[in-house]
Amino acid sequence: MIRCKNTIFVLETQNTQYVLGVDKYGYNHHLHWGKKCDINDFCTPQIGDQNSNHSMLDAFRQEYTPFGKTMYRGCAVKAEFFDGCREINLKYDGYAQKDDCLELQFSDTVYPLAITLHYQTYADCDIISRWVTVKNNGDTPIYFEKLCSAEFNLPSANPYTFKNTNGAWGGENIETNTLLEGGAWVNESRRGISGHNQSPYFIAYQNADEKSGDVYFATLAYSGNFKVKAERDLFGKTRIILGMNDFDFRFQLNAGETFDTPKVFCGYTQGFGEMSRQMHKFAVENILPKSHNDKLLPVLYNSWEATEFDVNCENQTALAKIAAEIGVELFVMDDGWFGKRNNDRAGLGDWFVNREKFPNGLDALINQVNALGMDFGIWVEPEMVNADSDLFRAHPDWTYHYDTREACELRNQRVLNMTREDVQEYVFNCLHTLLSEHNIKYIKWDMNRPFSETGAENLECPQMLWYLHTKAVYDIVDQLKALHPDVAIESCASGGGRTDYGALMHFDQVWTSDNTDAIDRMVIQKGYSLLKPIKTMRAWVTDINWYNKPCTLDFRFNIAMQGALGIGGNLTKYTEKDLEICKKNISLYKQIRPLVQFGKLYRNMDIDKDEILFNQYVNAEKTESVAFIAANGTRFYKKSVPMRFSGLDEQKRYTLSINGKTYEKSGAYLMNVGIDLEVRGADYNRIILINQV
Ligand code: GLA
- 589-607 pLDDT, tens digit per residue, is 999 999 999 999 999 999 9
335 Cβ closer than 6 Å to some ligand 1 atom? yes
Q: What is the pTM of this model?
A: 0.97
- pLDDT confidence band for 26 (50 / 70 / 90): confident
Selection from 530, 447, 545, 540 nearest residue 496 by Cα: 447
- pLDDT confidence band for 52 (50 / 70 / 90): confident
Q: Which residue puts its alpha carbon closest to atom 4 of ligand 1?
A: 304
| Contact assessment for residue 366 and residue 438, using Cβ atoms and an 8 Å cutoff | yes
Per-residue pLDDT tens digits for 653-681? 999 999 999 999 999 999 999 999 999 98
Q: How many helices (H) and strands (E) does the chain have?
A: 14, 38
pLDDT over threshold 80, residue 204: yes
- The catalytic position among 214, 446, 500, 520 is 446
Q: What size, in residues, is the chain?
A: 693
Can you tell me which atom of ligand 1 is nearest the CA of 514? 8
In this predicted structure, which of 111-115, 257-261, 619-623, 635-639 has the lowest mean pLDDT? 635-639
Instruction: Please give the Cα distance from 626 to 615 (Å, whole number).
Output: 8
Distance 390 CA to ligand 1 centre (A): 22
**Residue 185 forms beta bridges with which residues?**
230
Map 105-142 to HEC letters.
EEEECCCCEEEEEEEEEEHHHCEEEEEEEEEECCCCCE
From 302, 311, 379, 442, give the residue whose CB has the most ligand 1 atoms within 8 Å, as the site to mutate: 379
Question: Which pLDDT does position 71 carry in this prediction?
Answer: 86
448 Cβ closer than 6 Å to some ligand 1 atom? yes
Per-residue pLDDT tens digits for 522-572? 999 999 999 999 999 999 999 988 888 889 999 999 999 999 999 999 999
Q: Which residue puts its alpha carbon closest to atom 12 of ligand 1?
A: 335
- What SS3 class is residue 298? coil
Query: Residue type for 139, please?
Result: D
Can you tell me which atom of ligand 1 is nearest the CA of 495? 8
Distance 383 CA to ligand 1 centre (A): 14
Distance 60 CA to ligand 1 centre (A): 48
Q: Between the CA of residue 133 and those of 103, 168, 221, 261, what are the distances in Å?
A: 10, 34, 15, 6
Q: Which residue puts its alpha carbon closest to atom 6 of ligand 1?
A: 335
Question: Which pLDDT does position 393 carry in this prediction?
Answer: 98
- What SS3 class is residue 47? coil
Query: Residue type for 210, please?
Result: E
Mean pLDDT (whole number) for 277-299: 98
Q: Which residue puts its alpha carbon closest to atom 7 of ligand 1?
A: 494
334 Cβ closer than 6 Å to some ligand 1 atom? yes
17 Cβ closer than 6 Å to some ligand 1 atom? no
Delimit the domains of the chain by residue range: 9-287, 300-383+428-449+470-485+533-598, 604-692
Question: Which pLDDT does position 350 carry in this prediction?
Answer: 98
Distance 598 CA to ligand 1 centre (A): 27
From 310, 342, 344, 492, give the residue whose CB has the most ligand 1 atoms within 8 Å, as the site to mutate: 492
Question: Which pLDDT does position 54 carry in this prediction?
Answer: 82
Instruction: Please give the Cα distance from 466 to 169 (Å, whole number).
Output: 21
Instruction: Please give the Cα distance from 677 to 642 (Å, whole number).
Output: 6
Selection from 192, 221, 216 nearest residue 205 by Cα: 216
Selection from 506, 500, 381 nearest residue 445 by Cα: 381
| Contact assessment for residue 416 and residue 399, using Cβ atoms and an 8 Å cutoff | yes
| Contact assessment for residue 146 and residue 67, using Cβ atoms and an 8 Å cutoff | yes
Identify the sign of the CA torsion 70, 71, 73, 79: negative
Per 3-state DSSP, the chain is made up of helix, strand and coil in percentages (nearest 5) of 25, 35, 40
510 Cβ closer than 6 Å to some ligand 1 atom? no
Selection from 206, 183, 284 nearest residue 34 by Cα: 206
Q: For 282-312, give one letter per residue: b (16+ CB within 10 A) or e.
A: bbbebbbbebbbeeebbbbbbbbbbbebebb
pLDDT over threshold 80, residue 160: yes
Distance 493 CA to ligand 1 centre (A): 8
Instruction: Please give the Cα distance from 691 to 648 (Å, whole number).
Output: 10
Q: Which residue puts its alpha carbon closest to atom 1 of ligand 1?
A: 494
Mean pLDDT (whole number) for 609-629: 97
Distance 446 CA to ligand 1 centre (A): 7
Instruction: Please give the Cα distance from 28 to 63 (Å, whole number).
Output: 6
Per-residue pLDDT tens digits for 165-180? 999 999 999 999 999 9
Cβ neighbors of 360 (< 8 A, separation 6 or more) are 313
Question: Which pLDDT does position 132 carry in this prediction?
Answer: 98
108 Cβ closer than 6 Å to some ligand 1 atom? no
> What architecture is the 604-692 domain classified under in CATH?
Sandwich (2.60)
Per-residue pLDDT tens digits for 382-429? 999 999 999 999 999 999 999 999 999 999 999 999 999 999 999 999
Q: For 18-30, give one letter per residue: b (16+ CB within 10 A) or e.
A: bbbbbbeeebbbb
Q: Which residue puts its alpha carbon closest to atom 11 of ligand 1?
A: 494
pLDDT over threshold 90, residue 285: yes
Mean pLDDT (whole number) for 621-641: 94
pLDDT over threshold 90, residue 53: no
Give the H/E segment covering residue 559.
helix 553-560
| Contact assessment for residue 48 and residue 106, using Cβ atoms and an 8 Å cutoff | no
DSSP letter at 41 equals G
DSSP letter at 536 equals G
Distance spanning both ends of the chain, measured CA to CA: 38
Mean pLDDT (whole number) for 452-464: 97
Instruction: Please give the Cα distance from 244 to 469 (Å, whole number).
Output: 13
Rounded to the nearest integer, the mean pLDDT of the chain is 96
304 Cβ closer than 6 Å to some ligand 1 atom? yes
- What SS3 class is residue 288? coil
Strand pairing category for 488-491 and 509-511: parallel
Per-residue pLDDT tens digits for 331-389? 999 999 999 999 999 999 999 999 999 999 999 999 999 999 999 999 999 999 999 99
From 169, 446, 511, 567, give the residue whose CB has the most ligand 1 atoms within 8 Å, as the site to mutate: 446
- The catalytic position among 214, 334, 375, 514 is 514
φ, ψ of residue 668 to 5 degrees: the values are -60, -45
Distance 432 CA to ligand 1 centre (A): 22
Selection from 223, 247, 228, 147 nearest residue 187 by Cα: 228
Q: Which residue puts its alpha carbon closest to atom 2 of ligand 1?
A: 494
Distance 380 CA to ligand 1 centre (A): 10
- pLDDT confidence band for 63 (50 / 70 / 90): very high
Instruction: Please give the Cα distance from 426 to 385 (Å, whole number).
Output: 12
Can you tell me which atom of ligand 1 is nearest the CA of 444? 10
Instruction: Please give the Cα distance from 563 to 212 (Å, whole number).
Output: 25
Can you tell me which atom of ligand 1 is nearest the CA of 493? 8
99 is catalytic: no
Selection from 242, 171, 295, 264 nearest residue 502 by Cα: 264
Cβ neighbors of 71 (< 8 A, separation 6 or more) are 55, 57, 58, 65
| Contact assessment for residue 440 and residue 491, using Cβ atoms and an 8 Å cutoff | no
Q: Between the CA of residue 61 and those of 46, 180, 240, 243, 621, what are the distances in Å?
A: 12, 18, 11, 18, 41
9-287 belongs to which CATH class?
A: mainly beta
Can you tell me which atom of ligand 1 is nearest the CA of 492? 8
In this predicted structure, which of 43-47, 184-188, 192-196, 500-504 has the lowest mean pLDDT? 43-47
Question: Which pLDDT does position 546 carry in this prediction?
Answer: 87
Q: Got the DSSP string for 167-225?
A: EETTEEEEEEEEEE-SEEEEEE--SSS--SS--SEEEEEES--SSSSEEEEEEE--SSS
| Contact assessment for residue 153 and residue 61, using Cβ atoms and an 8 Å cutoff | yes
446 Cβ closer than 6 Å to some ligand 1 atom? yes
379 Cβ closer than 6 Å to some ligand 1 atom? yes
Strand pairing category for 613-618 and 653-658: unpaired
Can you tell me which atom of ligand 1 is nearest the CA of 334? 10
From 334, 380, 499, give the residue whose CB has the most ligand 1 atoms within 8 Å, as the site to mutate: 334
126 is catalytic: no
Q: Between the CA of residue 281 and those of 175, 222, 471, what are the distances in Å?
A: 22, 19, 26
Distance 571 CA to ligand 1 centre (A): 19
Cβ neighbors of 577 (< 8 A, separation 6 or more) are none
- pLDDT confidence band for 4 (50 / 70 / 90): confident
> What architecture is the 300-383+428-449+470-485+533-598 domain classified under in CATH?
Alpha-Beta Barrel (3.20)
Instruction: Please give the Cα distance from 93 to 104 (Å, whole number).
Output: 8
| Contact assessment for residue 664 and residue 603, using Cβ atoms and an 8 Å cutoff | no
- What SS3 class is residue 629? strand
Q: How far is CA 663 from the centre of its chain?
A: 39
Selection from 615, 613, 556, 614 nearest residue 586 by Cα: 556
